[in-house]
Amino acid sequence: MSAKQKTPAILAIPSSLEDAAYRLAIGSEGTRNIAQFVLEKCPGFLDTVTQETRDSLYKGWQLRKHELEGEKGYKLADGVYIPVTDPSKVDGVVMFSINVAMSYSPQEFGQLRKVDPAKHAILGDLRKKFSTYASNRMGELTAAIRSIVNEGKTKTRAPNAGFVEAMTKTFDGYEKRVKTAQTRGDREADPVRFKMAVDAFWKTYRG
């Protein structure tokens, strides 16, 4: 049985499209305010995220992911952890959660594979879920901070490459490709003939 999850009011199901838009606007404003707060605390966030900052952020994300996932009970039988629907009715139940999974240091978790492979598999899945979740949150935070930093700046579009430059890059790329293809046993790939063809192209094009 999962632990009771906390559902902030803003995450409740909207009552209408108007309500959905209103909640989305509040969420967007909240994200910007949080990004501004983090930027003020860590002015160099976009260049370097200190370990202390990263640890603090990940603790917050871990707290929320733990709320979302809750706890799940398992009964160990013959080396296999079997999910239990109602832990209160079963003796010897082991409770697993995001917090339990993340309480292991990398070294401890690595050793767990040898000591208890079944537990390692379950906790490994939880650790992977949290890693993906935290990575996505970090990406969103970084994007929000970058948006604040770039406010008011005029974007300068890089000029399009000229034809000669574009063709040179194309030929360079295919030169590497034909060599790789030859190495892999492609009988149609001939670096020498390719170079001759390129030379002939430039000779004709440039007159």
50-74 per-position pLDDT tens digit? 999 999 999 999 999 999 999 999 9
Euclidean distance between the first and the last CA atom of the chain, given in angstroms as a whole number: 79
Does residue 128 belong to any structural domain of this protein? yes
Q: Which residue, among 63, 86, 58, has the nearest Cα to 74 in the 3D structure?
A: 86
**Which residues is 77 bridged to in the sheet?**
80
Does residue 85 belong to any structural domain of this protein? yes
Does residue 1 belong to any structural domain of this protein? no
Task: List the domain range (segments joined by +) for residue 180.
Answer: 163-206
Does residue 200 belong to any structural domain of this protein? yes
Number of independent structural domains in the chain: 2
**3-class state of residue 187 by DSSP:** coil
Which is higher by pLDDT, 10 or 16? 16
Q: What is the mean pLDDT of the chain?
A: 89
Residues 107, 76, single domain; the answer is yes
Residues 174, 98, single domain; the answer is no
Whether residue 203 is predicted with pLDDT greater than 60 in this model: the reply is yes
Residues 48, 84, single domain; the answer is yes
End residue of a domain, out of 126, 149, 172:
149
Range with the poorest average pLDDT among 27-31, 104-108, 177-181: 177-181
Residue 123 contacts residue 134 (beta carbons within 8 Å): no
**3-class state of residue 198 by DSSP:** helix
Residues 123, 197, single domain; the answer is no
Phi, psi of 140 (to 5 degrees): -65, -40
Residues 130, 177, single domain; the answer is no
Residues 136, 174, single domain; the answer is no
Residue 79 contacts residue 65 (beta carbons within 8 Å): no
Residues 56, 90, single domain; the answer is yes
Q: How far is CA 200 from CA 78, 92, 169, 186, 204, in A?
A: 72, 79, 17, 23, 6
Does residue 138 belong to any structural domain of this protein? yes
Give the integer Cα–Cα distance in Å for 124 and 108. 12
Place of tokens 């709320």: 67
Residues 25, 127, single domain; the answer is yes
Residues 144, 82, single domain; the answer is yes
**Which residues is 82 bridged to in the sheet?**
75
Read off the DSSP letter of residue 87: G
What's the whole-model pTM score?
0.69
**pLDDT band, residue 1 (cuts 50/70/90):** very low
Does residue 104 belong to any structural domain of this protein? yes
Does residue 157 belong to any structural domain of this protein? no
